[in-house]
């Protein structure tokens, strides 16, 4: 029986002897095999291709076509080449057996055969064939699995290759992003110049070289454009940016590869001139830059002329780090700006000390308001016609906890620079109004005190604040001071600013019958046209003219002109800094209405001032 499909094995018996065929077919049929018989080779070949037998028992010695030839032909045919052939032969010759195997036989049974032997050999052969078939099947399965696995492996490999490629791409992109990040971290986006970080690194390296070799010299040039903000504000950021790019190119011109030009931000650039021989190498670059910047630059359709203030600091072993030398170059740059822009300054130690003082002063100034270190002093203003006290000028004083009394000339400019002047000025206004109002209330029966005026200095920034009038109203309401007793001293700088705001503020002040005085008159702008347009009450002739009134003809002429001008415009004049009787007499003879100065009194505390009023000392001191 065929074990794999339970079908009986199909056996073809080929023999020319009918007896043999009968015995064999009978025996094998009994064993369950399906038997076909052929009595010669030709029939056998025909039968074999019709239904392919599982085994052929083939007699060698047959008339016509012998067994060898039949076997040969079976093996040559595609359909039957794998059918096992067991030869049957009476000949027990070795040569025949060899031949039998040569033509493709698998076994050999000699006649006369024993039935048992035939059965065993048939069974063995069929088992062997079925085992072979199974092995073949298994092999095929195995082959399939191998192929499948190979395919899977191939797919996996492809996936891996794809993933690898993707990874490589990602790595390349990451590298690019990283490079970009590094670039962005070290370079300025607008000008593509190194930024502060990279500059600091390079200065640090240059400092290391100085440490190793004390003769190594380098310079830092701190460049700040003059009036860049004006260009930016008036022509727009786009033009401003173009100007910065154009200037960055100019700065880079003619420098060596070893030098670094960096942009710190805004309109600030720095040159690190490495390995120079002397200071002249640096000042030479400064000079050259100033010259180059004088040429007009075409930016967004505008022809712009720029200039820069430059601070130069030379390397030295005292510098511990890059910030220190950069700071010094910055200090020198500020000094250059103060000097009048478009120039350079070389840093020296005195500058540092001065800057340090200014920084400390600024810090202290911020605290001064909180700590109530300010007081207001009052300097009498005298009517020259009768030497009567007309009022006071309120002058701020700062009692510094360590440095004692600090002059306003020293801290007011700083307060203006930092914007603190607004708060400080408002406080003075409030305090001065409060004090005069308190005197007037306390001595309500005294008409002379009721008529007193207080002059308060108002800084330009204070005046320009949109809420200045509101504050003024608030202070007058709080202190109860009659507005006609208040006189605001403003400088020409405020008036030259022809903004609508300024005009409106002046009108509002006038509406409240508050008086307006132009301080330090004659020192400021020469344009006088504004005087006739604006509601001014007084001109305060600057101290510098009064000082020279007796010795300098020019000063006298100026004073005369100011007094005439004031009279023609319906204004009164106050002379500042009157120190001698002669000055006072002369001013009186020129019809100057009021005077203020050490001749009459120094600025004094509120207590001293009221005491003076009450004792009427002042008048006596002049007589």
Residues that bind ligand C2E (CB under 6 A): 379, 395-396, 407-409, 412, 421, 425, 428, 457, 459, 489, 519-520, 543, 576-579, 596-598, 603
The residue among 426 and 576 lying less far from Mg ion, judged by its C-beta, is: 576
Q: Tell which positions 558-587 bind Mg ion, by CB under 5 A.
A: 576
Of 15-23, 159-167, 174-182, 453-461, the segment contacting Mg ion by CB under 5 A is: 453-461
Q: What's the min distance (Å) between Cβ of 518 and ligand C2E? A: 11
Q: What's the min distance (Å) between Cβ of 618 and ligand C2E? A: 14
Q: Residue 522 touches which of Mg ion, ligand C2E, none (CB < 5 to 8 A by kind)?
A: none
Q: What's the min distance (Å) between Cβ of 464 and ligand C2E? A: 13
Q: What's the min distance (Å) between Cβ of 561 and ligand C2E? A: 20
Kindly list the strands in the beta sheet with 55-59, ordered across the sheet, starting from the edge strand earlier in the chain: 34-38, 10-14, 55-59, 85-89, 107-110
Q: Are the beta carbons of 65 and 40 closer than 8 angstroms?
A: yes
Report if residue 82 touches Mg ion, rule: CB under 5 A: no
Show the site string, 111-140: x = touches Mg ion by CB under 5 A, - = not: ------------------------------
Distance CA 346, CA 335 (A): 9
Report if residue 489 touches Mg ion, rule: CB under 5 A: yes
Q: What's the min distance (Å) between Cβ of 324 and ligand C2E? A: 35
Report if residue 520 touches Mg ion, rule: CB under 5 A: yes
The residue among 430 and 457 lying less far from Mg ion, judged by its C-beta, is: 457
The total of other beta-carbon atoms located within 10 Å of residue 623's CB is 6
Q: DSSP letter at 7?
A: P
Q: What's the min distance (Å) between Cβ of 540 and Mg ion? A: 6
Q: Are the beta carbons of 426 and 419 closer than 8 angstroms?
A: no
Nearest by Cα to 218 from 240, 203, 230: 203
Sorted by sequence, the CB contacts under 8 Å of residue 152 that are 6+ apart come out as none
Q: Residue 407 touches which of Mg ion, ligand C2E, none (CB < 5 to 8 A by kind)?
A: ligand C2E
The residue among 106 and 559 lying less far from ligand C2E, judged by its C-beta, is: 559
The residue among 264 and 428 lying less far from Mg ion, judged by its C-beta, is: 428
Distances (CA, A) of 52 to 20, 78, 158, 406: 22, 11, 46, 129
The residue among 206 and 428 lying less far from ligand C2E, judged by its C-beta, is: 428
The total of other beta-carbon atoms located within 10 Å of residue 481's CB is 22
What per-residue string of b and e applies to 441-466 under the rule 16 or more CB within 10 Å gives b? eebeeeeebeebbbbbbbbbbbbebe
Distance CA 314, CA 217 (A): 7
The residue among 218 and 392 lying less far from Mg ion, judged by its C-beta, is: 392
The residue among 22 and 403 lying less far from ligand C2E, judged by its C-beta, is: 403
Q: Residue 598 touches which of Mg ion, ligand C2E, none (CB < 5 to 8 A by kind)?
A: ligand C2E
Q: Are the beta carbons of 463 and 534 closer than 8 angstroms?
A: no
Report if residue 519 touches Mg ion, rule: CB under 5 A: yes
Distance CA 102, CA 107 (A): 11
Sorted by sequence, the CB contacts under 8 Å of residue 68 that are 6+ apart come out as 60, 99, 100, 103
The residue among 522 and 603 lying less far from ligand C2E, judged by its C-beta, is: 603
Residue whose structure tokens are 């003024």: 472
Q: Residue 125 touches which of ligand C2E, Mg ion, none (CB < 5 to 8 A by kind)?
A: none
Distance CA 239, CA 42 (A): 110
How many residues bind to Mg ion according to rule CB under 5 A? Answer: 5
3-state DSSP helix/strand/coil % of the chain, to nearest 5 = 55, 20, 30
Of 282-290, 444-452, 517-525, 554-562, the segment contacting Mg ion by CB under 5 A is: 517-525
Query: At CA 35, angle to CA 29 and CA 38, rounded to 5?
Result: 135
Q: What's the min distance (Å) between Cβ of 504 and ligand C2E? A: 21
For 516-559, what is the HEC assignment?
Answer: EEEEEECCCCCCCHHHHHCCCCEEEECHHHHHCCCCCHHHHHHH
Q: What's the min distance (Å) between Cβ of 249 and ligand C2E? A: 43
Residue whose structure tokens are 């005195």: 350
Q: Residue 191 touches which of Mg ion, ligand C2E, none (CB < 5 to 8 A by kind)?
A: none
Half-sphere exposure of 505 (CA within 13 A, CB side): 25
Of 8-16, 35-43, 462-470, 519-527, the segment contacting Mg ion by CB under 5 A is: 519-527
The residue among 364 and 576 lying less far from Mg ion, judged by its C-beta, is: 576
Distances (CA, A) of 246 to 180, 295, 412, 477: 24, 12, 38, 56
Please pick, from the candidates 248, 322, 457, 462, the single residue that binds Mg ion as defined by CB under 5 A. 457
Q: Residue 459 touches which of ligand C2E, Mg ion, none (CB < 5 to 8 A by kind)?
A: ligand C2E
The residue among 260 and 538 lying less far from Mg ion, judged by its C-beta, is: 538
Q: Residue 486 touches which of ligand C2E, Mg ion, none (CB < 5 to 8 A by kind)?
A: none
Q: Which residues bind Mg ion (CB under 5 A)?
A: 457, 489, 519-520, 576
């Amino acid at each position: 029986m065929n074990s794999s499909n339970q079908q009986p094995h199909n056996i073809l018996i080929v023999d020319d002897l009918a007896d043999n065929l009968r015995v064999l077919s009978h025996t094998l049929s009994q064993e369950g095999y399906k038997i076909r018989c052929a009595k010669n080779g030709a029939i056998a070949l025909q039968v074999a291709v019709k239904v392919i037998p599982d085994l052929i028992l083939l007699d060698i010695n047959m008339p016509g076509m012998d067994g060898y030839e039949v076997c040969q032909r079976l093996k040559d045919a595609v359909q039957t080449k794998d059918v096992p052939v067991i030869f049957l032969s009476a000949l027990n010759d070795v040569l025949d057996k060899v031949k039998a195997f040569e033509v493709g036989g698998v076994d050999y049974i000699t006649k006369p055969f024993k039935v048992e032997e035939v059965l065993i050999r048939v069974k063995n052969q069929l088992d062997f064939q079925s085992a072979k078939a199974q092995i073949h099947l298994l092999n095929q399965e195995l082959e399939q699995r191998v192929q499948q696995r190979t395919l899977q492996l191939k797919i996996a490999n492809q996936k891996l290759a794809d993933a690898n490629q993707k990874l490589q791409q990602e790595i390349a992109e990451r590298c690019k992003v990283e490079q970009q990040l590094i670039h962005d971290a070290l370079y300025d986006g607008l000008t593509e110049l190194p930024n502060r970080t990279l500059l600091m690194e390079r200065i640090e390296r240059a400092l290391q070289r100085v440490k190793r070799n004390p003769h190594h010299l380098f310079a830092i040039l701190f460049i700040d454009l003059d009036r860049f903000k004006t260009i930016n504000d008036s022509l727009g950021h786009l033009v401003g940016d173009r100007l910065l790019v154009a200037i960055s190119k100019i700065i880079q011109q003619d420098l060596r590869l070893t030098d670094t030009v960096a942009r710190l931000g805004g309109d600030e650039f720095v040159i690190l001139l490495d390995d120079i021989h002397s200071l002249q190498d640096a000042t030479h670059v400064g000079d050259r830059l100033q010259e180059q910047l004088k040429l007009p630059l075409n930016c967004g359709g505008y022809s712009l002329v720029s200039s820069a203030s430059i601070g130069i600091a030379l390397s030295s072993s005292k510098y511990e780090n890059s910030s220190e030398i950069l700071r010094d170059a910055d200090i020198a740059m500020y000094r250059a700006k103060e000097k009048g822009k478009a120039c350079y300054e070389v840093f020296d130690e005195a500058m540092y000390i001065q800057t340090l003082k200014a920084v400390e002063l600024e810090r202290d100034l911020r605290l001064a308001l909180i700590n109530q270190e300010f007081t207001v002093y009052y300097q009498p203003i005298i009517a020259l016609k009768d030497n009567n006290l007309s009022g006071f000028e309120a002058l701020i004083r700062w009692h510094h906890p360590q440095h004692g009394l600090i002059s306003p000339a020293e801290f007011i400019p700083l307060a203006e620079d930092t914007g603190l002047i607004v708060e400080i000025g408002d406080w003075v206004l409030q305090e001065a109004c409060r004090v005069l109002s308190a005197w007037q209330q306390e001595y309500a029966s005294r008409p002379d005190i009721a008529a007193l005026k207080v002059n308060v200095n108002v800084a330009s920034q204070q005046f320009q604040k949109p809420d200045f009038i509101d504050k003024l109203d608030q202070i007058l309401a709080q202190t109860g001071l009659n507005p006609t007793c208040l006189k605001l001293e403003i400088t020409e700088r405020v008036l030259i600013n022809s903004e609508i705001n300024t005009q409106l503020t002046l009108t509002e002040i006038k509406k409240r019958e508050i008086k307006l005085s132009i301080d330090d008159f004659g020192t400021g702008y020469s344009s006088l046209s504004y005087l006739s347009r604006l509601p001014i009450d007084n001109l305060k002739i600057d101290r510098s003219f009064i000082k020279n009134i007796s010795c300098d003809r020019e000063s006298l002429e100026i004073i005369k002109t100011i007094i005439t001008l004031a009279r023609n415009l319906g204004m009164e004049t106050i002379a500042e800094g009157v120190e001698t009787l002669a000055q006072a007499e002369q001013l009186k003879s020129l019809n100057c209405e009021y005077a203020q100065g050490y001749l009459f009194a120094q600025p004094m505390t509120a207590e001293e001032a009221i005491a003076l009023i009450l004792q009427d000392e002042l008048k006596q001191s002049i007589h």
